[in-house]
Amino acid sequence: MLTPEQIENKLDHVLLKVQKPGRYVGGELNSTHKDWDNFRTKVAFVFPDIYDIGVSNVGLKILYDQVNQRDDALAERVYSPWLDMEILMRENGIPLYALESKQPLACFDLIGFTLPYETLYTNALNVLDLGGIPIRTVDRDESHPIVIAGGHSTMNPEPMYAFIDAFVIGEGEEVIHDIINAIQKHKDQPGTSRAELLHELAKIPGVYVPTFYEAYYMDDGTLSHIEPTVDDIPKIVTKRLVAKLPPPPTKFIVPNIDIVHNRVSVEIMRGCTRGCRFCHAGMITRPVRERTVDEVLEAAKIAIKNTGFEELALLSLSSSDYSNVLELVTKVGEQFDGKHLKVSLPSLRIESVSIDLMEKLKEKRSGGFTLAPEAATERMRRIINKFVPDEEVIDTTREIYRRGWTTIKLYFMIGHPSETLEDVQAIADLCKRVIEEGRKVIGWKAKLNAGVSTFVPKSQTPFQWVSCDTPEQIRAKQALLRRELGRDKNIKLSLTDAEDSFLEAWLSRGDRRMAEVVYSAWEKGSRFDAWREGKKYSAWIEAFEEQGLDPLFYTHRQRRTDEVFPWEHITAAVRKNFLFQDFRMSLEGEIRVDCRLNCFACGILPIFAQTRRENPGEGWKCPDVKSPAPKVVSKSTHQLPVVGD
């Protein structure tokens, strides 16, 4: 294996031949450089997309800090090399290496991938290949690192089951330590096998080791059941969650080149109580846990001092729902006024209060104001459980133009269940009304950016049963929008590529058989599937053919109400019967209100009753659990009730 010095020498000969060589050299302020030989466990965290996208990821930043705070472990970072660099690395025999030490990936004990979205799957395979690590779990032996993965898309881990030794379901802050401890214990017992270590990992709550589970299929290709092959691991793996959010990271990596989010990000709240039925994040990150205003403010101050970044982002799934949002923005606005700092507060509700909040932040009005109505007819809004009347949209946007913003961004989705062309026409009509109102207020300066993406049904949500729109339907809907909105020079319409959405949709509800499709697509050159330069749609279609699988089986099929899903043995602690009830309500156009107002027993409290009991009060936005604890608490082996019972 090459030494870091040899790798650096080779890099010296290739770096000036690639775009943005700064992606491959590390050396950033606040990166942690620990002495390689003095730490027992070496962890490489991988964001399998380019540096420019990966650096600002908050999830990996949290884990990087968690591990580097240990005195027996070190953590380093790895990103996917862009296409030009990959060619040169392969030509020159340069293995993929970590940015801090320049040690090859294969020298680490633990490789931790984050897989927030499905289009990174082929990249993950490519990272392993470039790192000289066997791509398939079964081909790895004692000499290879343990490969783990977490992130939102792993709520259905099955399409990646053949490549990842262990998945972390849910929040990683605590479980990463359990995993490192297990690896160290394993090292202390020479002669124990990799299989024994994996078995130990499978016993950690929230850790799913696919090798120890078998999937059985029915004749129609759906699942019959999924079962552990050993008896001391959970039948159903329940996500991990942290009862109280730990202090937010403040030593963000400051890149030496331009990246996508040059900013300090402070998570003000995790989870969302809104219950939008299409929203994966909203279902899988429950319960809502808030940080205090003081904690957020303090972290923001320290992080800006540590980094000098020009932007501060206050992150959550729904900023308006943060309990003390007015106090927070007032204090943040005062703290950073006149410091040439942009503060962003994403995901605001469509109401005039949101404008007051943005004004408090002294947000530069040049930036544009973003709102997400998602749908434009009452029927559709009821189906997706995001109910914002047209008048609210019109009044709010008129007020935004009136108070000095010239650009408004509106996000919509097409392809919601049972959506018709009339529902899509309504999106166009609403956009036209918004811009007309804008013109009345500020004339031709008024601009509207309409971002219309295509809905992809996700596992662990109320829409996990629904069929996707066909390519013809999507194209017809996109054509309608282009026809209706393309002529107005002040409206900028952006649509997502229909093929991208299908790729995401095959994988989001895929089963284990999809793993061979992923492998084959990668082998045929597919990677960077979210990038125009990378993805090869034809490779995916060929891969499906080779495996004798029909892509439409995964996307264009209404699931039976009693269907066993490929992710049946994984739970985000929101019960299947809750999701099913919510799905039924969507068919009836029934709304469920914000669950801060009324607990609907989604499953979080029943499953995490003990955790809540130990952490009462305002931290969670779920009701307190006052009932006494049952005598025997079995945290990880509880059974999910099946639909209909």
Partner 1 sequence: MRIRITFSKQGALRYTGHLDLHKLWERAARRAELPLAYSQGFHPQPKMNIAAALPLGFSSRCEVLDMRLEQDIQLDGLAVKLNDTMPEGIRVTQIEQVDERAPALQTQVASAEYEVTLKEAGLGSDLKRKIDSIMESESIIRTRRNKEYDLRPLVETLTLIPSPDGKKEKIFMKLTAKEGATGRPEEVLDVLGIAFEETRIERVRLNFQS
Q: Does 32 bind partner 1 (CB under 8 A)?
A: no
Residues 198-257 that bind partner 1 (CB under 8 A): 254, 256-257
Q: Does 265 bind partner 1 (CB under 8 A)?
A: no
Q: Does 337 bind partner 1 (CB under 8 A)?
A: no
Q: Does 333 bind partner 1 (CB under 8 A)?
A: no
Q: How far is the CB of 13 from partner 1 (least distance, A)?
A: 6
* Omega within 30 of 0 (cis) for the link into 551: no
Site string for partner 1, 362-381 (x = CB under 8 A): --x-x---------------
Q: What is the C-alpha to C-alpha distance for residues 452 and 218, in angstroms, rounded to an integer?
A: 38
Q: Does 5 bind partner 1 (CB under 8 A)?
A: no
Taking the least distance from each CB to partner 1, the nearer of 19 and 193 is 19
Binding segment toward partner 1, per CB under 8 A, in 8-16, 133-141, 457-465, 565-573: 8-16
Taking the least distance from each CB to partner 1, the nearer of 215 and 253 is 253
Cβ atoms 225, 160 nearer than 8 A: no
Q: Does 260 bind partner 1 (CB under 8 A)?
A: no
- Left, alpha or beta for 608 (phi > 0: left; psi -120 to 50: alpha)? alpha
Using the rule CB under 8 A, which residue among 304, 315, 350, 622 binds partner 1? 304
Q: How far is the CB of 193 from partner 1 (least distance, A)?
A: 40
User: What are the beta bridge partners of residue 208?
Assistant: 167
Q: Does 35 bind partner 1 (CB under 8 A)?
A: no
Complete DSSP assignment for 59-83: HHHHHHHHHHTSSSEEEEEEEPPPH
Amino acid at position 126, single letter: N
Q: Does 185 bind partner 1 (CB under 8 A)?
A: no
Q: How far is the CB of 401 from partner 1 (least distance, A)?
A: 17
Q: How far is the CB of 305 from partner 1 (least distance, A)?
A: 6
Using the rule CB under 8 A, which residue among 211, 262, 467, 610 binds partner 1? 262
Q: Taking the chain, what is the end-to-end CA distance rounded to the nearest angstrom? A: 57
Taking the least distance from each CB to partner 1, the nearer of 101 and 526 is 101
CB-neighbour burial class of residue 614 (10 A; exposed 0-12, middle 13-18, buried 19+): exposed
Cβ atoms 113, 148 nearer than 8 A: yes
Using the rule CB under 8 A, which residue among 26, 151, 248, 415 binds partner 1? 26
List, as own/partner pairs, every contact residues 522-525 make where C-beta atoms lie below 8 angstroms and the sequence separation is at least 24, other chains included. Answer: 522/122, 522/125, 522/126
Binding segment toward partner 1, per CB under 8 A, in 12-20, 385-393, 442-450, 597-605: 12-20
Q: What is the C-alpha to C-alpha distance for residues 404 and 277, in angstroms, rounded to an integer?
A: 34
Q: Does 339 bind partner 1 (CB under 8 A)?
A: yes
Q: Does 92 bind partner 1 (CB under 8 A)?
A: no
Q: What is the C-alpha to C-alpha distance for residues 303 and 264, in angstroms, rounded to an integer?
A: 7
Question: What is the length of the chain?
Answer: 645
Pairing of strands 110-114, 41-47: parallel
Cβ atoms 61, 31 nearer than 8 A: no
Q: How many residues bind partner 1 (CB under 8 A)?
A: 30
Backbone angles phi, psi at 318, to 5 degrees: -160, 85
Q: Which residues bind partner 1 (CB under 8 A)?
A: 12-13, 15-17, 21-22, 24-29, 254, 256-258, 262, 304-310, 339-341, 364, 366
